[in-house]
């Protein structure tokens, strides 16, 4: 049902994603949809987490570069993050916007950002000699920058190649005094 929900957001917009509409498009009864998600907010949160998992999985596959040096790791990290965020064709950002103002969404969004920070930390830490906490703080800033650049790319305000180039530069700069 989540794939169907994603299609609804892609084709019709997040405002059209309701449990009733999802049931019709997925070919199930409304009680089945309500049993799975309980509320529209529950559906949006489940979709948001699912989209994030899709991005994280693609991101992780792109980073299977064991033995890569720092420069290659930075380039792969920047490209994978921007491309994975853009591959959702804006659904992730649209679902996030639909959840705006929700306390539940704020908690889920923070959880997803924390997961991204931990991924950055795991990928970059082998290449750095700075204390883990300092690197974690830098990764927090990098994830924020990556989110902003990917959102600008989805909106069409910056090309994918320019977003990747900028993000690569930001990552490189954040680690310039930390390479081992």
CATH of the domain at 111: 1.10.357.10
Residue 83, in any domain of the structure: yes
Residue 120, in any domain of the structure: yes
Residue with tokens 């309500």: 34
pLDDT-wise least confident of 30-34, 119-123, 164-168: 119-123
Residue 9, in any domain of the structure: no
Residue 83 vs residue 140, higher pLDDT: 140
Residue 28, in any domain of the structure: no
Residue 6, in any domain of the structure: no
Residue 17, in any domain of the structure: no
CB 139 within 8 A of CB 121: yes
Q: Whole-number mean pLDDT of the chain?
A: 86
Task: Give tens-digit pLDDT for 107-151.
Answer: 887 888 888 898 898 889 888 888 999 999 999 999 999 989 988
Residue 104, in any domain of the structure: yes
Whether 23 shows a pLDDT value over 70: the answer reads: yes
d(CA 167, CA 91): 21
Which of 84, 101, 99 is closest to 146 using CA atoms?
Answer: 84
Cα–Cα distance list, 39 to 17, 62, 109, 121, 180 (Å): 11, 35, 18, 35, 49
Residue 21, in any domain of the structure: no
Task: Give tens-digit pLDDT for 62-74.
Answer: 666 456 788 988 9
- Report how many domains make up the chain: 1
């Amino acid at each position: 049902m989540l794939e169907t929900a994603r299609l609804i957001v892609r084709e019709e917009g997040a405002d059209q994603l309701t449990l009733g509409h999802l049931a019709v498009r997925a070919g199930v009864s409304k009680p089945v949809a309500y049993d799975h998600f309980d509320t529209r907010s529950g559906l949006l949160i489940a979709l948001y987490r699912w989209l994030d998992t899709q991005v994280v999985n693609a991101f992780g596959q792109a980073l299977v570069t064991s033995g890569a040096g720092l420069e290659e790791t930075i380039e792969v990290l920047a490209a994978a993050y921007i491309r994975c965020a853009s591959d959702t064709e804006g659904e992730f950002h649209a679902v996030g916007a639909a959840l705006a103002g929700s306390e539940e969404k704020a908690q889920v969004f923070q959880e997803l950002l924390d997961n991204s920070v931990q991924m950055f930390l795991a990928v970059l830490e082998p290449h750095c000699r700075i204390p883990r906490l300092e690197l974690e703080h830098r990764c927090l800033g990098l994830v924020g920058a990556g989110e902003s650049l990917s959102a600008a790319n989805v909106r069409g305000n910056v090309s994918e190649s320019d977003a990747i180039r900028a993000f690569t530069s930001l990552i490189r700069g954040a680690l310039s005094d930390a390479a081992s």
